């Protein structure tokens, strides 16, 4: 440990830590737009010779396969050619120890004639899922991408046409080398929404004023009730009445103060946005000089693909469309691996048992021979349903764990941008465990498929002879 941190390594680690602190303090954190399906890349990024749009999760899957290919080339190059050659150290030794450990582990579960096929499937699924899961720990994944206007087309039934509407998003600003950045401190506010918020502030202020006046009226009525029942003379009553009028004047000032407090809170909110450099949500409110009412008829048309550096960019909200998103957060990827797992389970079952493998699902042999034959039929049908259910359980278990983990990293990096390391360590182990569970269940189910339902009976018959 001491030798590892000697020399330049500790200075590199310190430099990276200081860079992380600087970025966390200077660059406003942004929670990306979160959706379950993979996002389509902008127009022009299609699968070659087709009209199929490439998704950022497909890009991640391709990267995983490229990494696996490079990894295989590395292992083939570093592997000793014969028993007399000394194995190289470093990462290769660690991988070889892991490989042999997993081989021994799977051999204890699924040893026998079909061990090689089962282990190959186990290792393939394990490496693919592991690399896909760990991709969420790489800086820039899910956070660096296209600046995308968050605008969608909505059908207007009255006019029989489509119109562009805005959704949630952020403002943007131009940074180094003209690169556009999402401003995480300024959520985008449309002029209509700002006008509605100002009108709501006026209504709340009036409600606060009326509530204060109601409270004044109650106090005044109670004071008159006390004066009428305390037996005071006329002079005393007049004096009390004068005091009541004085109190009403004071209390009316409090009603005005309640009105002003609500408007002051709204003004402070708009001022805070202006201080952060926001350009939406900071228009002059209707209770101040210089106010111009919002005229919807004079609103500028929204552009579906505005230039981020143009004035049109201020008319729409923006989000980050990542170049790469973790493949295991897309149901297409997890469902595909689950289907492959179940199909390979059926394949090895037919390979080991032949056509007799179907008796696992359609066991009618004892239906008319034993009173319990109906139970065998029902169990077989449940086995068939269970194999289809494995597709759902495999795919949704991995999808749920990794999608929730990605959101956890987003949120904690936003809330604790300087020290989110415990959550990255947590996701490191969660990714490894999910990959191991997925691959291990595949190996177990493949091994069970090679075992005949009549294996025990045949074994007992052989022992009797």
CA 193: distance to chain centroid?
A: 27
Pairing of strands 180-187, 151-156: unpaired
Name the band, by pLDDT with cuts 50, 70 and 90, for residue 271: very high
Q: What is the mean pLDDT of the chain?
A: 81
Q: Structure pTM?
A: 0.74
pLDDT number for residue 201: 92
pLDDT number for residue 365: 66
Residues 280-292 have pLDDT tens digits of 999 999 888 888 8
pLDDT number for residue 464: 41
Q: Is there a contact between 136 and 406 (Cβ–Cβ < 8 Å)?
A: yes
Q: Examine the pLDDT at 157 and tell me if it is beyond 70.
A: yes
Residues 26-42 have pLDDT tens digits of 766 666 777 888 888 88
Q: Is there a contact between 194 and 280 (Cβ–Cβ < 8 Å)?
A: yes
Residues 429-453 have pLDDT tens digits of 999 999 999 999 999 999 988 887 6
Name the band, by pLDDT with cuts 50, 70 and 90, for residue 371: low
Q: What does the DSSP 8-state code read for residue 313? A: G
pLDDT number for residue 160: 73
For 99, the 3-state DSSP assignment is helix
Q: With pLDDT > 70 as the criterion, what percentage of the chain qualifies? A: 86
Name the band, by pLDDT with cuts 50, 70 and 90, for residue 118: very high
Name the band, by pLDDT with cuts 50, 70 and 90, for residue 455: very low
Q: Examine the pLDDT at 366 and tell me if it is beyond 90.
A: no
């Amino acid at each position: 440990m001491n030798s590892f941190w000697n020399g330049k390594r500790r200075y590199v680690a310190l430099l990276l830590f200081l860079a992380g602190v600087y970025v966390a303090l200077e660059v406003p954190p942004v929670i990306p737009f979160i959706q379950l399906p993979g996002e389509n890349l902008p127009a022009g990024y299609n699968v070659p010779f087709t009209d199929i749009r490439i998704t950022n999760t497909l890009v991640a899957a391709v990267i995983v396969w490229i990494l696996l290919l490079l990894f295989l080339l590395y292992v083939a190059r570093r592997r000793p050619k014969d028993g007399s050659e000394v194995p190289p150290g470093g990462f290769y030794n660690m991988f070889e120890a892991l490989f042999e450990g997993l081989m021994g582990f799977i051999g204890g579960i699924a040893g026998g004639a079909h061990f090689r096929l089962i282990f190959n499937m186990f290792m393939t699924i394990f490496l693919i899922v592991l690399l896909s899961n760990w991709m969420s720990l790489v800086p820039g994944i899910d956070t660096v991408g296209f600046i995308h206007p968050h605008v969608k087309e909505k059908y207007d039934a009255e006019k029989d046409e489509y119109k562009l509407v805005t959704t949630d998003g952020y403002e943007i600003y131009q940074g180094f080398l003209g690169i556009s950045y999402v401003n995480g401190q300024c959520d985008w506010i449309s002029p209509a929404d700002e006008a509605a918020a100002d009108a709501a502030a006026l209504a709340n202020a009036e409600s606060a004023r009326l509530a204060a006046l109601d409270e004044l009226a109650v106090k005044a009525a109670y004071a008159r009730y006390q004066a009428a029942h305390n037996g005071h003379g006329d002079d005393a009553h007049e004096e009390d009445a004068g005091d009541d009028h004085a109190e009403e004047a004071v209390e009316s000032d409090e009603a005005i103060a309640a009105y002003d407090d609500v408007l002051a809170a709204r003004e402070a909110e708009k001022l805070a946005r202006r201080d952060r450099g926001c350009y939406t949500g900071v228009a002059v409110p209707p209770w101040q000089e210089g106010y111009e009412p919002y005229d919807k008829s004079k609103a500028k048309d929204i552009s579906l693909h505005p230039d981020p550096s143009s004035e049109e960019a201020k008319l729409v909200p923006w989000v980050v469309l990542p170049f790469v998103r973790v493949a295991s957060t897309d149901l297409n990827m997890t469902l595909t691996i689950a289907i492959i797992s179940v199909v390979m389970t059926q394949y090895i079952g037919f390979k080991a048992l032949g056509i007799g493998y179907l008796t696992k699902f359609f066991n009618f042999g004892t239906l008319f021979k034993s009173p319990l034959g109906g139970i065998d039929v029902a169990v077989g049908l449940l086995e068939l349903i269970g194999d289809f259910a494995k597709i759902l359980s495999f795919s949704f278990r991995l999808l749920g764990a990794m999608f929730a983990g990605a959101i956890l990293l987003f949120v904690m990096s936003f809330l604790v941008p300087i020290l989110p390391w415990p959550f990255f360590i947590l996701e490191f182990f969660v990714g490894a465990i999910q990959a191991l569970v997925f691959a291990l269940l595949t190996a177990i189910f493949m091994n069970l498929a090679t075992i005949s339902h009549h294996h025990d009976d045949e074994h007992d018959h052989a022992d009797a002879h």
